[in-house]
Every structure is written in C-alpha cells, then in structure tokens.
Amino acid sequence: MSRWEIVSYVAIFVYTLVMLLNDQSILLVLGTVLVAGLIMFSIFVLYPMVWETRMDRLEAFLRRKQHAPYIYINYATANRLDEEVELTMEKLMSNTSASKSTKANYQAAYGAYRKDLFTVRKAVREMHKSVYRTYYETFVLIEEGETERAREHLSSIKREWMRFALLAKIERKLNHYKEAEELAAQAVKASKGVNRYAMTKEYERYYTKEQQAQ
C-alpha cells in the first residue's frame, strides 16, 4: 500500500469519526464513506489497472500488490518470475469465492505462460464466450502452426492490442521478424493498464537490441 493510500484511508477514518461524534445521520455517514471508498478504488486500483500508460507507475503499482493475487499475477507473469507465478496461481485457484469461469481465465493465462496447450484448451472449454476465449483459442492455433486459421479467428477480436499481439506471434512463428516487431510495437501503443505493462515486457523480451544479439 502506497503512502497516499494510507493517508487517504486515515483521512476517511478521521472524517467518519468526526461525523459520528457530531451526531450526523448514520445514513449520511455510510453514504459518504461509500462514495469516498469508490473514489479511492477508482484512483488507486481501477485507473492503474485499466487506463495507466506510464511504465514506472504501472511497475510500482503491480509490485505493491502481492497481497492481491488477481493483480499481482500480471507482474509475476510479465517478468517471468516462475516461483511467484506458481505461488500466486495456488492462491487464485484456492479462492472459493471465484467462479469456475474466472478460474478458467487464470488457468488459460497460466497455460499460455507455460506454453502448455493442454491446459489452455481445457481452460478455454470452461470459459464463457468472450474476447478472452477467442484470444486463447487463437493462441492455441498459432502455437500449433495453424496460422491461416488463426488469422480467421482474428476477425472477431475487436480489441486492437489483442489483434496486434496475436498478429505479432503469427509473424514471429513464420520468422518474419521485422513485421513481428512492428506489430508488437503497435500492440504496446494500443494497450493501457496492466495490458500495456505485459505488452511492453513482451516487446522488451523479444525485440530489444540485447535480445536480437543473443
């Protein structure tokens, strides 16, 4: 938790206490706390997860979230921290309040991380019909070398960063390195939040000068 988050929580607590000591309506107090809580959640969690584009802020946000497995898994996978990925996945899978479909999304991401197509296929069957299900179905086709079928799947994916990321994988699979790099750069540009972080890390992994030299 950042310093600003701590200060904000303390401020809400003090404000609530003052209102109660001044015999304010309990409904007014609860309403104020609820609104303040929603604003804080939007500023400190929702915005960085969905809209942030600065890598330094995303890095700091994700590194602080070890207590929140559903967020921290993005940091662990993007940085290829195998042990932390395993530990975080254990926490996600042991969460009894998570739905079967939600867990399937995590399992698909984990399977893709491990290049374990059996796990991805199994997870896809348990996912609700969504852009993420199509994404992982396309991922499997690419890994199996079915590049033309993968291109057909892409037509139903409306999110630009997903399309560019998958197209980059296709071109890399075909050893079209320059085209893959250009598409990966477009995936970074089109993404925001934790997706921007993941796309940037993948770009650095495959297309930096240091990686090209290896």
Largest CA distance in the chain: 71
Residues 6+ apart with CB under 8 A from 28: 19
Q: Is the pLDDT of residue 185 over 90?
A: yes
Q: In the prediction, which pLDDT does 174 show? A: 93
Per-residue model confidence as pLDDT tens digits over 128-158? 989 999 999 999 999 999 999 999 989 899 9
- What mean pLDDT do residues 59-66 have? 94
Using an 8 Å Cβ cutoff, are 111 and 123 in contact?
A: yes
CA gap 33, 48 in Å, rounded:
22
Amino acid symbol at 104: A
The whole-chain average pLDDT of the chain stands at 88
CA-CA distances (angstroms) from residue 121 to 71, 130, 139, 186, 193?
23, 15, 10, 27, 27
Per-residue model confidence as pLDDT tens digits over 42-56? 777 889 999 999 999
Of residues 191 and 7, more confidence is placed in 191
What pLDDT band is residue 214 in, cutting at 50, 70 and 90? very low
Q: In the prediction, which pLDDT does 213 show? A: 46
With 0.85 as the threshold, say if the pTM is over it. no
Q: In the prediction, which pLDDT does 13 show? A: 63
Return the percentage of the chain with pLDDT > 90, whole number.
Answer: 72
